[in-house]
Amino acid sequence: MEAQNVSDIIEKYLKEIINKNEHVEIRRAEIAQQFNVVPSQINYVIKTRFTIQNGYLVQSKRGGSGYIRIAKVNLVGDDQILKMVMTAIGDSVSEHDAFAVIQSLYADELLTRREANLILAALDKETLQLNDRKLENNLRARILVGVLNRLRFED
> Which helix H or strand E contains 25, and what residues bound it?
strand 23-26
The length of the chain, given as a count of residues: 155
> Which helix H or strand E contains 6, and what residues bound it?
helix 6-21
pTM above 0.85, yes or no: no
Based on the fold, state whether residues 39 and 61 are members of the same structural domain: yes
Based on the fold, state whether residues 31 and 67 are members of the same structural domain: yes
Based on the fold, state whether residues 10 and 49 are members of the same structural domain: yes
Range of the domain at 146: 79-154
Q: Which amino acid is at 3?
A: A
pLDDT tens digits along 24-82 = 898 888 999 999 999 889 989 999 999 888 888 898 877 666 788 999 887 777 778 88
How many Å apart are CA 12 and CA 6, to the nearest integer? 10
Based on the fold, state whether residues 56 and 101 are members of the same structural domain: no
Name which residue leads in pLDDT, 85 or 33. 33
CA atoms 39, 44, 45, 51: torsion sign: positive
CATH of the domain at 120: 1.10.1200.150
